Amino acid sequence: MTQETLKADIKALLKERNAVLLAHNYMRDEVQEVADITGDSLALSIEAAKTDAEVIVFCGVHFMAESASILAPEKTVLLPRLDAGCPMADMVSVEALREMKSQFPGVPVVTYVNSSAAVKAESDICCTSANAVKVVQSMSEKEIIFAPDRNLGSYIARFTDKKFHLWEGYCPTHERLRPEVVKELKQANPDAPFVCHPECNPKVVELADHVCSTTGMYDYCKKSGAKRFIIGTEAGILWRLKRENPDKEFILASPALICPNMKLTSLEDVCEALQHMKPVVKVPEDIRIPAKRALDRMLAIPRD
Ligand code: SF4
């Protein structure tokens, strides 16, 4: 079956099922092309909760489908590839987090949204890469536990005088980008700003002209007067960057910036999920309610 036939079948099934198709910015190009909405994980869940659709097809990884289920419990959330996980989210378990909390009694836990629903439920507040600084600055406590991304945690620690207890997690995809590679690229392309995600290693972040979330990257590259950019995040972001800026050039900082989990979902998987209405991701109420509390606290912080 051709990609065009598959896309037409998906569109017809979406209509039949009253479903909305969400694709994360790191998904395969053809999956982003057929999606109703593309974006970062939390923005997609918030959008999904607002639509009238009864079914959400989440093309992303497991914790993202869980976030959609937390925010829109009345909807059926399909994750076309149940095996699409996030190694960083898997680096923290509820038991291990409880153990760390017991070492620092009374210290609040700030958890990056790239985490399981159960870990969110153990947390005081969530954050995204876009609002992490604001979330931490909004807190009155002088110390925080930050999980699971040590790279994002050490980046935001620069903007506050709070004491951070960092969980030793990281994104293996972003961690693969080495500072030597970035230095060489910057020398070879002095006109191209290096824009990177805070999940990158701190030695890479130090070299950045601009550090931001994926959504921030779309804004920055659109508004910047530069014509060429070195991009330090997962390769899937290039599809929309190129589409929105046809006159600009984007250089992926390393061919290693490919997340295998984000590339699992194919058009065939999306079609099958809609045909059979599975696999379903549903967060049980005893986890959903405390996890939603941590997300709601974050969402209550005013955006710019
Ligand atoms: S890019 Fe990194 S953080 Fe995102 S899903 Fe892949 S491993 Fe997880």
Best residue among 63, 79, 262, 265 to mutate for probing ligand 1's pocket (most ligand atoms within 8 Å of CB) is 262
User: How far apart (Å, rounded) are the C-alpha atoms in residues 162 and 68?
Assistant: 31
Is the same domain home to 279 and 291?
Answer: no
Is the same domain home to 18 and 65?
Answer: yes
Establish if 150 belongs to a structural domain: yes
Which atom of ligand 1 is nearest the CA belonging to 114?
3
Smallest CA separation from ligand 1 atom 8, residue: 86
Establish if 99 belongs to a structural domain: yes
Establish if 53 belongs to a structural domain: yes
Is the same domain home to 78 and 8?
Answer: yes
Establish if 304 belongs to a structural domain: no
For residue 135, give the CATH number of its domain. 3.40.50.10800
Is the same domain home to 43 and 100?
Answer: no
Smallest CA separation from ligand 1 atom 2, residue: 171
Contact between residue 165 and residue 107 where contact means Cβ atoms under 8 Å apart: yes
Is the same domain home to 95 and 31?
Answer: no
- Flag residues of the chain having pLDDT under 50: none
pLDDT at res. 38: 96
pLDDT, one tens digit per residue, over 243-284 is: 999 999 999 999 999 999 999 999 999 999 999 999 999 999
- Which value, in Å, is the radius of gyration of the alpha carbons in the chain? 19
Establish if 33 belongs to a structural domain: yes
Establish if 273 belongs to a structural domain: yes
Is the same domain home to 92 and 164?
Answer: yes
Is the same domain home to 107 and 166?
Answer: yes
Give residue 32's domain range. 3-84+262-283
Is the same domain home to 15 and 79?
Answer: yes
Which residues share a beta bridge with 110?
125, 146
Contact between residue 22 and residue 7 where contact means Cβ atoms under 8 Å apart: no
Smallest CA separation from ligand 1 atom 5, residue: 86
Q: Which helix (H) or strand (E) holds 5?
A: helix 3-17
Distance 213 CA to ligand 1 centre (A): 13
Residues with CB under 6 A from ligand 1: 26, 61, 86-88, 114, 171-173, 234, 259, 261-262
Best residue among 64, 171, 176 to mutate for probing ligand 1's pocket (most ligand atoms within 8 Å of CB) is 171
Distance 20 CA to ligand 1 centre (A): 23
Establish if 131 belongs to a structural domain: yes
Is the same domain home to 158 and 292?
Answer: yes
Is the same domain home to 294 and 146?
Answer: yes
Is the same domain home to 93 and 156?
Answer: yes
Domain count for the chain:
3
Which atom of ligand 1 is nearest the CA belonging to 89?
8
pLDDT at res. 126: 96
Is the same domain home to 76 and 107?
Answer: no
Smallest CA separation from ligand 1 atom 3, residue: 171
Distance 39 CA to ligand 1 centre (A): 14
Q: Residue 262: CB partners within 8 Å, gap ≥ 6?
A: 24, 26, 27, 60, 61, 84, 234, 236
Distance 262 CA to ligand 1 centre (A): 7
